[in-house]
Amino acid sequence: MKNAQLAATLSSIILALMTGAVILALSGFNPWASYINLLEGATGFDFSGGSRFFRIPSRLGATLNECGPLLFAALAVAIPWRLGWVNLGGEGQMIMGAAAATFTALAMEDIAGPFALLMALLAAAAMGAFWSTLAAWMRIQKGMNEIITTIMLNFIAFWIIAWLVHGPMRDMESGMGHPWTRPVPDDSQLPLLGGKLRFHAGLLLAPLAAVGIWIWHTYRVSGFQSQVIGRSAQAARFAGFPVAQLERKAMAIGGGCAGLGGACALLGVQFRLSEEVAFGYGFTGLTIALAARSHPLLIIPCAFFFSTLRTGAERMEFSAGIPQALAVILQALVLFFLLIALAPQWSRWWRERQTRLAALAAAPTEKGAADA
């Protein structure tokens, strides 16, 4: 990423936060106190000058836990993006992945343990990949727009899960009346790490995946080929690259990542499958991927920032009554400012100005030459 793009990303985030402050002030909240509240809620730090600065470590853990699924959701957007595909179906793929993970973990209840966990993760990745490959197949075979198909698949996935948790998989004994499944057994959950912080192993899994994707993109031939497809599919076809195969592969890996993200959210935090398992992850993942310009390594800090925003906003609604939807607004604002900052028209105007200035500077000398 070039310096200009990095500057654009950072200034978009700052501008979005400032606009958010204006929104908060207009709706009658103190912006500064609200943001402090958000930060306290997301990190567990205590900024009021109390005796202990790091008051509630588990809140930082909650933010870190959010990081894993968000990172996966961002990868699900970023990988197909390299080929010029817009995968808006991250949410549906996560939902299906989470469902597959739950199903596997519950089916292997008798042999709960690391093996069951591994199988659950694999099942989630396979299911997510299947769900995104559907969209890939529809586009490659029939030329259907992947934006529309992935969104439709999101809704279909949502209602499938709604049916599962209200019907066949509903926990009737210990469900306390909620529409959700039985919890996955303790031994099949992602192991808790980090002592007091209490974050789970998904936090390690996701960056590993991101690094793997980065290596693929940077050092493998197929990574280069997919970039060529993104720049010009025609050139890629002319060069004889297996375009359809690479496209299918990218969508499958993206969907697999989303499925793993769903499994992370489920096996690491929620434990019971419910309708809200991946609520809003899809679009947050998109924002992260775009803010990082789809660079697999830059996605990592971006995911951390947006998970801070998400968990902080959640706590903020709890403690100060500020609607959580503020986090969504801030995400949209980051996207808007980024879009405007990176619009190609600015550089075009700049070039035109340079040409004009150069022409003005050149004109008198020409005149002088003509006189002489």
Query: What residues line the site for another protein (CB under 8 A)?
Result: 23, 27, 86, 88, 138, 141-145, 147-149, 151-156, 159-160, 162-163, 166-167, 283, 286-287, 290, 323, 325-333, 335-336, 339-340, 342-346, 348
Give me the least distance between CB of 163 and another protein, in Å please: 4
204, 213 Cβ separation under 8 angstroms: no
Query: What is the C-alpha to C-alpha distance for residues 307 and 294, in angstroms, rounded to an integer?
Result: 17
d(C-alpha 135, C-alpha 185), whole Å: 33
Least CB distance to another protein at residue 158 (A) = 8
Quickly list DSSP for 307-359: HHHHHHHHHHHHHH---THHHHHHHHHHHHHHHHHT-HHHHHHHHHHHHHHHH
Q: How far is the CB of 52 from another protein (least distance, A)?
A: 33
Among 352, 358, 350, 355, CA closest to 4: 350
Minimum Å gap between C-beta 313 and another protein is 10
Identity of the residue, 116 or 273, whose beta carbon is nearer to another protein in the bound complex: 273
Cα gap 353→285, rounded to integer Å: 38
CB-nearer residue toward another protein: 2 or 142: 142
Host H or E run for residue 200: strand 199-200
Which residue's CB is nearer to another protein, number 31 or number 207? 31
Closest CB to another protein among residues 35, 336:
336
Structure tokens at 190: 């992602």
Which CB atom, from 104 or from 284, has the smaller least distance to another protein? Answer: 284
Distance between CA atoms of 126 and 148, rounded to whole angstroms? 22
Q: 193: part of which helix (H) or strand (E)?
A: strand 192-193
Instruction: Tell me whether residue 111 or residue 325 sits nearer to another protein (CB atom).
Output: 325
Kind plus residue range of the DSSP H or E element containing 72: helix 57-81
| Beta carbon nearer to another protein, 87 or 189 | 87
Residue of 152, 100, 157, 155 whose CA lies nearest to 125 = 100
Residue 215 beta carbon to another protein: minimum distance, rounded to whole angstroms = 27
CB of 110 to another protein, least distance (A): 29
Shortest Å, Cβ 297 to another protein: 22
Tokens of 350: 């700049």
